[in-house]
Amino acid sequence: MSYWVYILYSRSENVFYKGQTADLEDRCIRHNAGREKATAHAIPWVCLWATQKHSRSEALKLEKKLKNLSRNRTIQFMLKYRQDVAGPDELRILQQLSGC
């Protein structure tokens, strides 16, 4: 079974949320439905970046690394690994956030 590590962005609050899950689509739906306490205050969320890992331990390790990054380093990380940016609209959001 593979796991996803993802970074969400809320325009309304201008914040990122980083997490991991086995079912990315369901998890994004839960975040945007307000069913996740940590993210309910900042709906709607856009999935800017996501990558798959082969095991939950790999996913947790990357999630921990991402959660320790500052806002600027999070943006730089996503730009560095832009092949995992969700799509062209999300890349534009990311470029706007970085000042590019």
Q: Please give the pLDDT value at position 1.
A: 87
Q: Pseudo-torsion of CA 53, 82, 76, 80, nearest 10°?
A: 80
pLDDT(100) > 70: no
| Each residue's pLDDT tens digit, 33-60 | 999 999 999 999 999 999 999 999 999 9
> Averaged over 58-66, what is the pLDDT?
99
pLDDT(67) > 70: yes
Helix (H, G, I), strand (E, B) or coil at 12: coil
Contact (CB, 8 A) for 74 and 7: yes
Q: The domain spanning residue 28 has which CATH number?
A: 3.40.1440
Q: In what order do the strands lie in the sheet with 3-10?
A: 15-21, 3-10, 46-53
State how many domains the chain has: 1
What global pTM score does this model have?
0.94
- Which residue range is the domain that position 48 belongs to? 3-98
